[in-house]
Structure 1
């Protein structure tokens, strides 16, 4: 006889509007221009999505010099995380046709950083070193114009050249609570620190964290579907544990769950990072139902209806139902 189990399924979860737009751009480019369509870096941080696009004819490269000369008229797509200004400049120098899939909310952070500089402020970027979004944001300004702060300890050690003229922005996928602590410490040390014109952490990051906070108390296990290099997914794991889940894990597929060592569980929380497709969430629910007498309870905290337009060159291309199913995860 199967043991009873409650799955608290967070909503919202999974694909955000920026990820949906980026995937759609690659699919539309393949339909309009044919294969290959080149993509610089992973379009989003999810191997399932990347492999699905590769099967359709996308070719992923790390740098533009990997694109063969005979294919330079084929599109190259820049990922949702954004790129330094040097990348489109390099594409133009190579006479490459590029489509920018940078999330509009990341582009907003770029503009906020440039606005700080225009107003004579040194830019403080709160984010994680080495993350593609951070590299892209720092690359909007000349070297030395941006200082990266990762932790409260970094904020304690930071010694700017001009403490009276500072403005901050943040990576869009950070923990809301952790970032608030870093900002508070910076504001305590530098009272004239200027905030961005609008909040940098994106609506999807905030909404997914709030849903996990709501669902986590009383969970024996909380699973977050996402990739190890997905910042927003890793933050959800941390949020679940801080909010009361006994244990929280990041998994990419149902096969990664250690089914033989789950222990005595009766309540499991489940959510997905902004680049994780719904098909994997369904796969994990099915895997639990095959082993437990599982019921699914929705933990709903917000409704999302954001939609971002794709590039002008692609707006008249029609997607089939099969295309839409892939784009929507």
Structure 2
């Protein structure tokens, strides 16, 4: 039998599911348990098709808009990314029973944006156009109340109505470094701009990026397990490349690995976006173990002990589930 070459795998920690994702998935699972199938979910509950497919197998039905849902007494769940105010308003007008799985850290940004608006501020949102979280945050306020800034160039071009009454909020899943540069550009131009009391970029996004920064310079290549639709997963690949790793790719699962990029390796870093299940990380490691003699070392840069409460109506089931 041919001897397999040795491969050191440095496994980033923290990685994978964050508290907001875990909570959102629990809400769908517990709703299915309490009310039975179907449970309708507006937009992918989290950006991972394997999570979505596993929930579909249990009886969840995913739609993009409420108008796709027939008149029903079945529960309707709003995704972790948050929704514009028009969505719960439409649900109420149709007497729908809905459960809001918006991540509490996204809800915090919604509250901040609304508070700034009430105080008469012109609001800048740093984020990616078209992302559901951005659509949800902008949809908390009247049309035109929020200006979207995606890049430093946008920040340098932006012309406010009144530089003295500006405030900014950010999407929770951005690159920490990119956002710092954009905020610096805004502050340089508009010193009076109001920012959040506490960082909007969520703890999980920050921690996963810091873990990548610690591992990327130590390895020849990096794999991030996550969906191409996942903003926080895409940012992890960018951070790995910026941190000195020559090869870094995003894969949904082991079958997506381009093995031509991972030939004759001595060391590999592995991480996962906040919506990627740990089973897919294990699958990737197993795929490398078929080609290499692997030694896995976990590199821990932070401990995470955060958990978010699920809606009260589902809590007795949560206790019974022992989660």
Bigger mean CA deviation after superposition, 111-120 or 174-183: 111-120
* Structure 1 position 163, deviation (Å): 1.2
Aligned to 1:106: 106
Q: Which aligned pairs between 1:1-20 and structure 2 lie closer than 5 A?
A: 1-20=3-22
Indicate the SS of the match to 1:270.
Answer: strand
8 Å contact from structure 2 (residues 7, 268) kept in 1:
yes
Change (3 A) 1:17 1:318: closer
In structure 1, C-alpha distance between the alignment counterparts of 2:298 and 2:197, rounded to whole Å: 35
* Structure 1 position 162, deviation (Å): 1.1
Indicate the SS of the match to 1:32.
Answer: helix
Q: Could you report, residue by residue, the CA deviation over 1:63-96 in whole angstroms, capped at 9, with x for unpaired residues? A: 1111112xx2110000000000000000000110
Q: Which aligned pairs between 1:204-243 and structure 2 lie closer than 5 A?
A: 204-243=204-243
Aligned to 2:68: 66
Is 2:50 the counterpart of 1:48? yes
- Taking structure 2 as the reference length, the TM-score comes to 0.97
In structure 1, C-alpha distance between the alignment counterparts of 2:319 and 2:258, rounded to whole Å: 38
Q: Could you report, residue by residue, the CA deviation over 1:173-228 in whole angstroms, capped at 9, with x for unpaired residues? A: 00000000000000001110011122100000000000000000032110000001
Q: Could you report, residue by residue, the CA deviation over 1:228-286 in whole angstroms, capped at 9, with x for unpaired residues? A: 11000000000001111111000001011122452321110000000000000000111
Is 2:43 the counterpart of 1:57? no
Aligned to 1:32: 34
The size of the alignment, in residue pairs, is: 321
Q: Could you report, residue by residue, the CA deviation over 1:264-322 in whole angstroms, capped at 9, with x for unpaired residues? A: 2111000000000000000011111111010001110000000001011100114777x
In structure 1, list runs of 5 or more residues that go unmatched.
Answer: 325-329
In structure 2, C-alpha distance between the alignment counterparts of 1:203 and 1:262, rounded to whole Å: 31
In structure 1, C-alpha distance between the alignment counterparts of 2:9 and 2:319, rounded to whole Å: 34
In structure 2, C-alpha distance between the alignment counterparts of 1:40 and 1:34, rounded to whole Å: 17
In structure 2, C-alpha distance between the alignment counterparts of 1:137 and 1:185, rounded to whole Å: 22
Indicate the SS of the match to 2:29.
Answer: helix
8 Å contact from structure 2 (residues 21, 274) kept in 1:
yes
Aligned to 1:83: 83
Change (3 A) 1:315 1:283: same
Aligned to 1:21: 23
Q: Could you report, residue by residue, the CA deviation over 1:101-132 in whole angstroms, capped at 9, with x for unpaired residues? A: 00000000001111111221111000000000
Q: Which aligned pairs between 1:136-175 and structure 2 lie closer than 5 A?
A: 136-175=136-175
- Taking structure 1 as the reference length, the TM-score comes to 0.96
Change (3 A) 1:162 1:49: same
Bigger mean CA deviation after superposition, 10-19 or 283-292: 283-292
Aligned to 2:125: 125
Aligned to 1:305: 305
In structure 2, C-alpha distance between the alignment counterparts of 1:91 and 1:197, rounded to whole Å: 32
8 Å contact from structure 2 (residues 49, 227) kept in 1:
yes
In structure 1, C-alpha distance between the alignment counterparts of 2:244 and 2:313, rounded to whole Å: 47
8 Å contact from structure 2 (residues 212, 239) kept in 1:
yes
Aligned to 2:293: 293
| Structure 1 segments of 4+ aligned residues over 6 angstroms from their partners | none
In structure 2, C-alpha distance between the alignment counterparts of 1:225 and 1:153, rounded to whole Å: 30
Bigger mean CA deviation after superposition, 219-228 or 38-47: 219-228
Q: Could you report, residue by residue, the CA deviation over 1:156-179 in whole angstroms, capped at 9, with x for unpaired residues? A: 110111111000000000000000
